[in-house]
Amino acid sequence: MHKGDCKLGKWDGKGIKYYENGNKLYEGEYKDICSNGKGINYYKNGKIMYKGEFKLSKWDGKGIKYYKNGKKEI
């Protein structure tokens, strides 16, 4: 499920995508349905997986990766 901005029937702007259990999967900027810009990826348990930059729905640029327990990956 997705909540957020749409343009010409495509996700564009800011939005939130959810897992089937209702927890967030991604929150941030979209362009043409893809995660583009700054955003946050989440694990199914609700903890942050990655916080940073995205391009074409992939981690790209500066960002921080987290373990499932919430600690930063070094």
For 8-58, how does the pLDDT look when each residue is reduced to its tens digit (9 = 90+)? 666 778 899 999 999 999 999 988 778 889 999 999 999 999 999 999 999
* Domain contains 41: yes
pLDDT score recorded for residue 11: 75
pLDDT score recorded for residue 74: 77
Number of domains comprising the chain: 1
* Domain contains 70: no
* Domain contains 71: no
* Domain contains 48: yes
**Interatomic CA distance for residues 61 and 58, integer angstroms:** 10
* Domain contains 24: yes
* Domain contains 20: yes
* Domain contains 32: yes
Please report which residue ranges of 1-74 form alpha helices under DSSP H.
none
Residue 43 in 3-state DSSP?
Answer: coil
* Residue 26 structural domain: 2-65
Contact in structure between 36 and 26 (CB atoms under 8 Å) = no
Residues 6+ apart with CB under 8 A from 48: 40, 41, 42, 66, 70
Q: How far apart are the first and last CA of the chain?
A: 32
What is the pTM assigned to this prediction?
0.85
pLDDT of 67 higher than 90: yes
pLDDT score recorded for residue 47: 95
